[in-house]
Amino acid sequence: MKILILTFGSTGDVLPYIALGKGLAEKGHDVVICTNSRFENFVVKYAMRYAYISDDITQLIESESGRRMIEGLNGAVGFLKAMCSMIGRIGAIQTNIINDSWMAVKTNEPDVIVFSPKSYQARHFAEKIGCKAIAAPLFPQHVPTATRPSLGFPRLGSYKGYNLYTYKIVRGISQLIAGSQIKKWRISHDLSPAFSGIDICHDIAGNNIPVINGYSKALIPPPEDYPENVHTCGFWFLQQASGWIPPANLVEFLTQGPAPVYFGFGSMASVRSKRITAIIVEAVKRCGCRAILATGWGGLSPESLPNYMCQISYAPHDWLFPRVSAVVHHGGAGTTAAGLKAGRPTLICPIFADQPLWGEIVFQLGAGVAPIPQNKLNVLKLSIAINELLHDHRIKMKALEIAEQLNCEDGIDNAISVIESVMTKSD
């Protein structure tokens, strides 16, 4: 079976799909991953073929204006304001992404397109070439449910009508931002200009599209009103520890004392990075613990660190997290899952999107402390949270309990079973 996987964005937006693609390739399928150019080596490393998407979107996020845009993404209203402020630049980038993705589809002629919600254009491509499309979200945002509102909206109890209406609002916003580009593409490719918005869950005729959720039922149980075409499979972990050689200074630091606390904010480059770095250094000092500070793309910028802290640019989570005592991070789905899979008590300091959701879920499950948004982080709050992570026995036990559940779950194999079943039924 020829499978094309469409995704783009930061590391957390891409690596789970590389993990899924790797699993499909190991089952004998012909897999192409179409994603940002910066991930080409990752794709090739795991014996899959690569198709190009411009890296403009990640460069925008990493720019000063992009960082400030991210800082303003507070709830649905903040999201709308930020998008409108940059709609010209985002529109041009989206047009390039659509064109790059379509070139990959034409060139590879897949039997099925597996796509992240950001690659919403995939269902239109599938309609044009007559192949199957399967949506693959990494968090619960795109399938409407009466049990909870869409991300960014306040919870108002069990108001089912309100909850469902929030998803219509989000689709309406998405339509305003991207609808005209898709309409132009459809007209230029001899398809009807009428279509049902930026809706990843249905085809143009309104029929359900298969959905494979790349997150765990242990963290987010499927609501009873999810339709039969929606499958919650489990997280898609890319195992990178095998063959990775850690730097000597990291190995030495880990062997010199008690397990440290991990701090890292992934690709969430904050305009407050220097302030946040100073807060972390002071809070670690007050708590009397050791710490690893992962700078990565996250903009953390220490000028110097005391000897009880170690700075790294990167380490695979599946190698590092089992060696630390607790994890503090931005709350991306992949980092959250990796920390819990390692059984580590967690503090999430979110900025936007699904990050507040994961912070609240970890706290409600008892595997961590209450999330602290990055714009509200200070030394006192962080010190209290670190001490609780390190010394609350209930949190430690709950984190280990969740780890056991996640380690018994094979999200990749579950997703592959759904994909193969969909294709078998279509033959």
Q: What is the 3-state secondary structure (H, E, C) of the chain?
A: CEEEEECCCCHHHHHHHHHHHHHHHHCCCEEEEEEEHHHHHHHHHCCCEEEEECCHHHHHHHCHHHHHHHHCCCHHHHHHHHHHHCHHHHHHHHHHHHHHHHHHHHHHCCCEEEECHHHCCHHHHHHHHCCEEEECCCCCCCCCCCCCCCCCCCCCCCCHHHHHHHHHHHHHHHHHHHHHHHHHHHHHCCCCCCCCCCCCCECCCCCECCEEECCCCCCCCCCCCCCCCEEECCCCCCCCCCCCCCCHHHHHHHHCCCCCEEEECCCCCCCCHHHHHHHHHHHHHHHCCCEEEECCCCCCCCCCCCCCEEEECCCCHHHHHHHCCEEEECCCHHHHHHHHHCCCCEEECCCCCCHHHHHHHHHHHCCECCCCCHHHCCHHHHHHHHHHHHHCHHHHHHHHHHHHHHHCCCHHHHHHHHHHHHHHHHC
Q: Assess if CATH 3.90.800.10 describes domain 248-407.
A: no
The Cα 135–Cα 257 span in angstroms is 46
**What amino acid occupies position 288?**
G
Model confidence, pTM: 0.92
pLDDT value for 83:
55
Matching fold, domains 2-235+409-426 and 248-407: yes
CA separation for the pair 81, 344 (Å, rounded)? 36
Tokens of 39: 């991930």
Asked if 411 contacts 219 with a C-beta cutoff of 8 angstroms, the reply is no
Rg (Cα) of the chain, in Å, rounded?
Answer: 21
Can you give the residue ranges of every domain in the chain?
2-235+409-426, 248-407
Cα 260 to Cα 92, 265, 290, 335, distances in angstroms: 44, 16, 5, 17
CATH topology of domain 2-235+409-426: Rossmann fold (3.40.50)
- Residue 71: what pLDDT? 60
Length of the chain: 427
What pLDDT is attached to residue 31? 97
Question: Residue 299 and residue 307: Cα distance in Å, rounded?
Answer: 21
Strand 309-312 vs strand 261-264: parallel, antiparallel, or unpaired? unpaired
Contact by Cβ (8 Å): 10, 132: no
Token pair in block for residue 371: 């999330």
Residue 263 CA to residue 235 CA, distance in Å, equals 22
Q: Which residues of the chain have pLDDT under 50?
A: 75-76
pLDDT at 180: 83
CB atoms within 10 A of CB 143: 20
